[in-house]
A and B are shown apart, each in its own frame.
Chain A
Amino acid sequence: MSRQYSAFALARHALQPDLAWERAWASPDPKPSYDVVIIGGGGHGLATAYYLAKNHGVRNVAVIERNYIGSGNVGRNTTLIRSNYMIGGNTAFFEHSMKLWEGLSHDLNFNCMVSQRGQIVLAVNPVQLDTFARRGNVMRLNGIDAELLDRGEVMKLLPYLDYSKEARWPVYGAIMQPRAGTVRHDAVAWGYARAASNLGVDIIENCEVTGFVMDGTKVTGVETSRGRINCGKAGIAVAGHTSHVAKMAGLRLPVESHILQAFVTEPIKPIVHHVVSWGAELFYLSQSDKGGLVFGGHIDGFNTYTQRGQFPRIQTVAECAVSLMPFVSRLRLLRHWGGIQDMTPDGSPFISRTPLKNLYLNGGWCYQGFKATPASGWTYAHTIANDDEHELNRCFSLDRFEKGRELDEFGIGNWTYKQ
């Protein structure tokens, strides 16, 4: 049980250097049985456990993580948060997430370094700017902040872009969400783990789920590398391994696992003060607090569970960066890495009941897992506690393809590679 973090605690530790900080979360052995077992100790799994305990009073919960906390996609994303979605369902869900982000550091008593520096999406032709105006109108009607910028306004905010006549993709304008920004992703994992642990949730690391114990269509427990753990309900939140884990329960899902790469350059002085996204190709860039430019693009384009990216994608993304911001050509790429994402046919996620009575599914996050973390945990906890979806995640049901209720946000599921 770790103590409250505060300015006084900092001062106390500064004056008493020998006083060690307590572990942020407990490391218990698994109990034989829990009310709810969450499979996957990533951002979504930990957030779910936290909101189960906080909002629904379900505290006899275990989060089972195959590796260590923060080892998966919660530590591999590009840390962006935004709620500039247009399709009904997504709009309200991601705005709920944004509101939770805004109060998260206080809620968790952990500094998540939420930085609402604004996201600017550049239009590279007049038609695109028209579609941005439409998207902005939809956002504003839903109470979300959106501003349309013309070329002159963009030049003031982002003076370092290529505005020359030779620019391959001229900047016509942009849509901006001032409340969007970045969050320190590791802190999100640690903050949720600590807050959940303080509420009585058992976080069990280095424990791999190897199978489900079934009684007909009911899950009664999970087999793990540390023995059998019985449970009243089980929830899957394992991102790229969603198909793999669901298969243990006999489920076949509308999911393919793909790799998305991310990149960071050597650190430079502050120059990019916003999150900048590009309309010519899927490309987004921000500058970290350490000074490195952090950016990413499309998935590699074929399904894989390896976290090794292929070189052609690195080349494409670097070309995007240089085309948009010519000064980037002078920088060296410091690191690049890959994360495995569960891509769905319509590019939208699942937070849902499953055909099995007490097994729940959170997955299919495609490109948008990190920014959804708080709302995902919040609604998934509701779904598990009440055995029913919340209004905010009803549209993310597993059976939406059967019912013709696809949520086709920009069509950026894996389908784009099959056309």
Chain B
Amino acid sequence: MQRTTDITRPKTLEELLPSTLMARLDPLDLASRKVFYGKLKGERRSKKRGQSVEFADHRSYVSGDDIRHIDWNIFARLDTLFLKLFLEEEDLALHVVIDASASSDCGIPSKFAFMQRAAMAMGYVGLVNLNRVAATAMGEGAVQSSVRDLRGKRRVHDLARWMCSVEPGGSFSFREAAERIALSRRGKGIMLVFSDFFFKEGFETGLKLLKGRGYDVFCIQVLSPQEVEPDLVGDLRLRDVEDMDMAEITVSAPLLKRYKANLAAYCESLREFCARREMQLLTIRSDTPIESFILDSLRKRGVVK
């Protein structure tokens, strides 16, 4: 919960995403509950009928259709012209959003470090599978920085460089950040939002905005172990690292009990909100290994396959 004092941040791809992990991530691909229209030909099945080898449907021939797609076998049997329709394979847009506010740089291990690594790993999975990958860091001034339209394994280093360049700090308005992300993105696809979702203004408006354009949104709530099990003792003056708000407490068993009840209620309200809007929520502790996070937690949720 306390601010992270160890500020050793990853500087290279290797530090961010060890090659051993990379090797384990290679077989994975992104999965979406929805099928989206893509922009470029990719490895993903598209809603569009297209030119892949995968048969989709028949329809009656109308004048102007490409006669190459006429199913001659049907014509021979029925004496009627039908067109064979094939599924189009397109790429998928993956948008990774991480919370780079000062509050995410708290906890041991740091929530931000976890988000950084997890986002990098997911971005890697996206790039390897020829998806269009974009990443945005919410931070000081709503959107601190972003990178977009990365495609192909070659761009892994670009993504890693950007990821390493993100420096957590300051505060932001989630609603504003979500609005800007929503306005700036193109197409549709999967959006992964890494944050603790502790926004004093509320998470509702922001999440609504992110969902608004039809993205398949996965919210990953990262909590530090100290937030889940506070290890505070005595008379304390708690200072919010973002807005410098003070809260004086005297730690006691009933107070801790009440805090935990509040935390559980908050997480539950977030989960309910997401469920109502067809978003998925995964609450994870920052001391969870990245490998098990992706290979176990995300796979179980169907984010990767």
A pairs with B? no
